[in-house]
Amino acid sequence: MFPIAHGWLLARLTDGSPSPAAFLGCVWPDMLFGSPLTHQQSHTSGETLLDFTREQPDGAGRDALLDFTRGVITHGSAPHGFDWYSDESYGDGGAAKGYAFQRGAAIATRAAVACGVVEEFGLWKAHNLIEMAFERRLYQADPAAAATLRAACDDTDLMAQIAGPLAQFFHQDAAALAAAMLRYREVVSLAPDSLDALATIYAAQTRIRHPGATPDADAIASLIGEAEDIVASDGETYLAICRAGVRDTLAALGL
């Protein structure tokens, strides 16, 4: 869960300033708290959603949906967006898959303990903490992009506008999709100015996703700090590879 990084990447793949719809799209695949959609649906539907969008009548609504879909594609795992490199495949990969899983392996057992979940969830939690290790620095690097991202996540009119065609595409209720978008701002940190801010919100996420979990926010904060140290040596290389790869994905799709 690294919304600031997704906004940061979008801003570097767009000529000029990305629209609010594009910023909403770049985090939308993770808007799954209370959503009727699965992680697989939101992270691998970008290309078919683009086809659907291009079939819509010309006008402002289509333009906003196209910007939104472009943002979605920069995020997802298929076609290859940011999460392909974070979750699925990075470098020679191996069993640990993407960058965040590879780097998170070293803290997986302690991540399970800090989050108060069973050990089998430790690597997933650790990969989230590695992703969150980028948030503070990228927030400071581009506060304007972060501010536009926050505004997009507060824009109920935009969410309602986008939820309509999404409901048609996914054959779901528009109100349910819009409600999940609106809830997102409550379960992520969109102004991550401290380790405590990140840890507190991740502890809240953990309690929602794992009923009965007993996360320790102080221990989580400590692990995010350690994760920042882990990514210090090669995080810039990772981000550069992501930028180049996602740029190629957009170009291949005519975006």
> What is the Cβ-side half-sphere exposure of residue 165, based on CA atoms within 13 angstroms?
20
pLDDT of residue 209: 93
Distance from C-alpha of 19 to C-alpha of 21, rounded to nearest angstrom: 5
pLDDT of residue 16: 85
pLDDT tens digits for range 26-79: 999 999 999 999 999 999 999 999 999 999 999 989 999 999 999 999 999 999
Answer yes or no: is pLDDT of 93 > 60: no
Distances (CA, A) of 180 to 19, 29, 130, 239: 21, 11, 25, 28
Q: What is the mean pLDDT of residues 174-197?
A: 96
Query: Which of 96-100, 153-157, 225-229 has the weakest average pLDDT?
Result: 96-100
pLDDT of residue 95: 62
pTM of the model: 0.95
Map tokens 């997009």 to a residue: 152
Answer yes or no: is pLDDT of 1 > 80: no
Averaged confidence pLDDT in the chain: 96
Residue of higher predicted confidence among 215 and 91: 215
pLDDT of residue 92: 74
Nearest one of 6, 160, 153 to 77, comparing CA atoms:
6
pLDDT tens digits for range 98-142: 999 999 999 999 999 999 999 999 999 999 999 999 999 999 999
Distance from C-alpha of 107 to C-alpha of 101, rounded to nearest angstrom: 10
- Which class for 36: exposed (0-12), middle (13-18), buried (19 or more C-beta within 10 A)? middle
Please, are residues 105 and 59 in contact by the beta-carbon 8 Å criterion? no
Helix (H, G, I), strand (E, B) or coil at 96: coil
Answer yes or no: is pLDDT of 150 > 90: yes
Q: What is the mean pLDDT of residues 87-92?
A: 90
- What is the amino acid identity at position 74? T
